Amino acid sequence: MEPGGAPYGLVEGGAIAIEDGRIAFAGRAADLTDDWRCVRAEGFDGRLATPALIDCHTHLVFGGDRAREFEMRLNGAAYEEIARAGGGIVSSVKATRAASEDALFESAARRLDALLAEGVSTVEIKSGYGLTIEDELKMLRVARRLGAERGVRVRTSWLAAHALPPEYKGRADEYIAEVVLPGMEKGAAEGLIDAVDAFCEGIAFSIEETRRVFSHARRLGLPVKLHAEQLSDLGGAVLAAEFGALSADHLEHLSPAGVSALAKSGTVATLLPGAYYFLRESVAPPVAALREAGVPMALATDCNPGTSPLTSLLLTMNMGATLFRMTPEETLAGVTREAARALGLQDEIGTLSPGKLAEIAVWDVESPAELSYRIGFNPLHALVKEPCA
Ligand code: DI6
Ligand code: FE
């Protein structure tokens, strides 16, 4: 709710005027001046208009899948056995390295189309399953191509610090020096990188290693974001805040110190209930404390083969409400206004405000709460992205 405004900023009997692809007016139809009465879009009466949805954290591009591993685990196989059968993140790395750009494009396009069917206009896509300079850049080229061919805005993140590839076992420093940092430079020079991310976790990269990655990003003028406090509290959120990160993501094990650091730096807390659900975690992120401290909360799918094979932002909204106790209003802000902020796009998209791009989802619902209330139902009526004239 905007201070003093109606819940959701909802306007009954509203109208939106669009000029040159941007919102020129948004408010009560009764307040629309005569200048705007010339062209009228039909079929939207009585429906709900929201900003187009934004998925601000995905690993959409990867080779293969991990359904077999899922099946083995549910049939009682032990971790060891799965690892011996080539399971885990390493299997996704192998499959991604082996895949051509065309094959990666085809498989990711299916997942992207599922997101787009629910009114998504913007998707963040990370590298992180190639783990060589060339394979990481290959993933980001595919991400750019997805954006171009599907007419959707794609923001890319350099996540070479996602896992240590087998050939660098026990040599994280060398991996960072030989792959993560020079690859970041190459990708930035080729215009393939919009932001830099890392997985700061006991099973991935330490605070000090993450600091090296972030310092290099800063030298290159790239914004940062971080997978932090997903499985344990390493203090990643405090580090992210220190670097003025766009977002800190996951945050199940976020400490009170982490909450205040995010509040101070204005870093968005991006919550990922799909991974929490799929891993059957029991510690939820401290939503009440984040709310209390005024930390903006975004929601995203974290679509990835290992821990969140999820391609629905509407279901993500439902999970944000049922699993994390976010209000329906917070879940909608989480996939619009705050997701835009998590990508640094808050001046362009994320709300239906004059001056912003006209990217509007129109829904067949009675109230905005329905968007997070339903499970597995898609009430999208239309996605408006072009000037209506
Ligand atoms: N957090 C996760 O849960 C995954 N990556 C990450 O940063 C796991 C990725 C995988 O298992 O494929
Ligand atoms: Fe992730």
- For 112-141, write each residue's pLDDT tens digit: 999 999 999 999 999 999 999 999 999 999
Q: Which atom of ligand 1 is nearest to the CA of 162?
A: 7
Write the CA distances from 141 to 2, 83, 89, 231, integer angstroms. Answer: 39, 30, 21, 30
Identify the pLDDT of residue 37: 67
C-alpha 80/C-alpha 135 separation (Å) is 27
Cα within 13 Å of Cα(26), Cβ side: 19
Give pLDDT tens digits for 280-309: 999 999 999 999 999 999 999 999 999 999
What is the spatial distance between Cα 103 and Cα 191, in angstroms, rounded to a whole number?
A: 22
pLDDT over 70 at 388, yes or no? no
Beta strands in the chain (DSSP E): 14-19, 22-28, 48-51, 53-55, 120-126, 153-161, 195-198, 225-228, 247-250, 268-271, 297-299, 360-363, 380-384
Nearest CA to ligand 1 atom 6: 199
Centroid of ligand 1 to alpha carbon of 30 (angstroms): 50
Query: What is the bridge-based pairing of β-strands 268-271 and 297-299?
Result: parallel
Q: Which residue has the tokens 């997942």?
A: 111
Would you state the pLDDT for residue 38?
62
359 C-alpha to ligand 2 centroid (Å): 26
pLDDT of 302-357, one tens digit each?
Answer: 999 999 999 999 999 999 999 999 999 999 999 999 999 999 999 999 999 999 99
189 pLDDT above the threshold of 70 = yes
Ligand nearest to the CA of 57: 2
- Angstrom distances, CA of residue 12 to CA of 15, 41, 133, 262, 364: 9, 17, 52, 35, 15
Q: Which atom of ligand 1 approaches the CA of 279 most closely? A: 3
Which-ligand-closest: CA of 305? 1
What phi and psi values does residue 28 have, to the nearest 5 degrees? Answer: -75, 135
Q: What is the pTM of this model?
A: 0.96
- Burial environment of residue 3 by CB neighbours within 10 A (0 to 12, 13 to 18, 19 or more): exposed
pLDDT at 387 over 70: no
**pLDDT over 80 (residue 84):** no
3-state secondary structure of 32: coil
119 lines ligand 1 (CB under 6 A): no
Q: Say if CB 238 and CB 199 are below 8 A apart.
A: no
Question: From its phi and psi, is residue 247 left (phi > 0), alpha (psi between -120 and 50) or beta?
Answer: beta
d(CA 96, CA 100): 8
Query: Length of the chain in residues, anyone?
Result: 389
Look-up of token digits 């329906």 = 328
Which helix (H) or strand (E) is 300 found in, with range? Answer: none
User: Which band of pLDDT confidence, cut at 50, 70 and 90, is reported for residue 82?
Assistant: confident
Average pLDDT for 95-114: 98
Q: Regarding beta strands 360-363 and 380-384, do their DSSP bridges make them parallel or antiparallel, or are they unpaired?
A: antiparallel
298: which residues sit within 8 A by CB, 6+ positions away?
Answer: 56, 57, 247, 268, 269, 270, 271, 334, 335, 338, 339, 341, 342
Q: How does DSSP classify residue 338?
A: H
Gap from CA of 313 to ligand 2 centroid (Å): 15
pLDDT computed for residue 39 by the predictor: 64
pLDDT band of 45, cuts 50, 70, 90: confident
Question: How much distance in Å is there from the Cα of 307 to the middle of ligand 1?
Answer: 6
For residues 223 and 195, the answer to whether their CB atoms sit within 8 Å is: yes
Instruction: Look at residue 378 and tell me whether its pLDDT is greater than 60.
Output: yes
